[in-house]
Amino acid sequence: MSPTRAESLLIAELAAEAERYDDVISQIKTIATQFDARLTNDERNLLSIAYKNKTNTLRNSWRIVDTLEKMQASRTAPGTTTRQLTLIRQQRKKIERELANVCKDIVKLLEKQLLPAAKPGEERVFYSKMKGDYYRYLAEFAHEVEREWYADESLNAYKQAYRHAMSTLESVHPTRLGLALNFAVFYHDVRKSPERACHLAKSAFDDAVMSLDSESSDTTMAQTIRDSLQILQLLRDDLVLWSKEIQ
């Protein structure tokens, strides 16, 4: 017998506890395909965590190997290639292929199923932000023409998400703040513009702080405020670093 939706969710939760993220993704894809592409919050969060862990591991591996490759290249005579350097490059390219496959997989799922089924508001912002994030990851290690295309796709996704967030979510909403943080990182890391990154981050930070001041007596905002404080701290930390770069 095929598992029910509740059973698929249970298997996904067990897989997440065991850090078997491929199994998590498989179960949530089954739910989206066989039951409903409009995922519950629990299903959506499991999917997000699984892809985040997979890509974070690969991105960290890529950074390490890329650094080692540059160190080895600096020790090699110009115009020559050693066997060791060749092996390091092969490993970097292997990681790049794996990372690209994971990012393209979630982007395809978002574009074909999750975004078309998403409700206006927080859900659509969340998925559009994810799309921007994974195109950004692709742009981080792609080369030349591909890099520009991925960067443009990331920018378009972030812009759509941010416009929708501005019209549907409170400035202190964690999803809107998380979007602002990642969008600012895009401008800093991909577009190499700390000025635009600072402008976006400061605007989101100031709007949220003003909202906190005006809503401080509203008990219904308490949980939202707690969820947002960590993101506000990250925005502030990035603002400090990027402002020093500009100076």
In terms of domains, do 201 and 184 share one? yes
Residue 22: pLDDT band (50, 70, 90) is very high
- Same domain membership, residue 140 and residue 26: no
What per-residue confidence (pLDDT) applies to 196? 97
Among 117, 146, 165, where does a domain finish?
117
Give the range of the structural domain holding residue 105, as residue numbers without chain letter: 1-117
pLDDT at res. 226: 77
Distance in angstroms (rounded) separating the CA atoms of residues 15 and 30: 14
CATH of the domain at 201: 1.20.190.20
- 220-233 confidence digits (pLDDT tens): 556 677 789 999 99
3 state SS of 91? helix
Euclidean distance between CA atoms 51 and 47, whole angstroms: 6
pLDDT band at residue 143 under the 50/70/90 scheme: confident
Q: CA 32 to CA 230: how far, in whole Å?
A: 31
Indicate if 87 and 111 belong to the same structural domain.
yes
What DSSP character marks residue 210?
Answer: H
In this predicted structure, what is the pLDDT of residue 144?
Answer: 84
CA 240/CA 72 separation, integer angstroms: 33
What pLDDT score does 214 carry? 63
User: Model confidence over 119-132: pLDDT tens digits?
Assistant: 999 999 999 999 99
The fraction of the chain above a pLDDT of 90, given in percent, is: 87
The pLDDT confidence band at residue 24, using thresholds 50, 70 and 90, is very high
Among the ranges given (105-114, 166-175, 206-215), the one the predictor scored with the smallest mean pLDDT: 206-215
Say whether both 105 and 186 belong to one domain.
no
pLDDT computed for residue 191 by the predictor: 96
- Return the pLDDT at 218: 53
pLDDT tens, position by position, 177-207: 999 999 999 999 999 999 999 999 999 999 9
Percentage above 70 pLDDT, the chain: 96
Tell me the C-alpha to C-alpha distance, in Å, between residue 104 and each of 45, 55, 240. 19, 11, 33
Q: With 80 as the cut, is the pLDDT of residue 19 above it?
A: yes
- Number of domains present in the structure of the chain: 2
Residues 74, 148 within the same domain: no
Q: Are residues 34 and 79 in the same domain?
A: yes
Q: Single out the residue in 117, 141, 175 at which a domain terminates.
A: 117
What is the pLDDT of the chain when averaged over all its residues? 94
State yes or no: pLDDT of 79 exceeds 70: yes
Token pair for residue 19?
Answer: 């850090």
Domain check: are 92 and 130 in the same one?
A: no
Residues 94 and 2 placed together within one structural domain of the fold: yes
Nearest to 178 by CA among 45, 21, 73: 45
Do residues 202 and 173 both lie within one domain?
yes
Measured CA to CA in angstroms, residue 18 lies from 11, 106, 131, 142 at distances of 11, 21, 26, 32
* Averaged pLDDT for residues 80-101: 94
Distance of alpha carbon 233 from alpha carbon 31, whole angstroms: 35
Best CA proximity match to 42, nearest among 13, 4, 11: 13
Q: Which of 96, 117, 138 is the last residue of a domain?
A: 117
Same domain membership, residue 172 and residue 128: yes
The verdict on 31 and 105 lying in the same domain is yes
Please tell me whether residues 148 and 187 are part of one structural domain: yes
Q: Identify whether the C-beta of residue 135 lies closer than 8 Å to the C-beta of residue 154.
A: yes
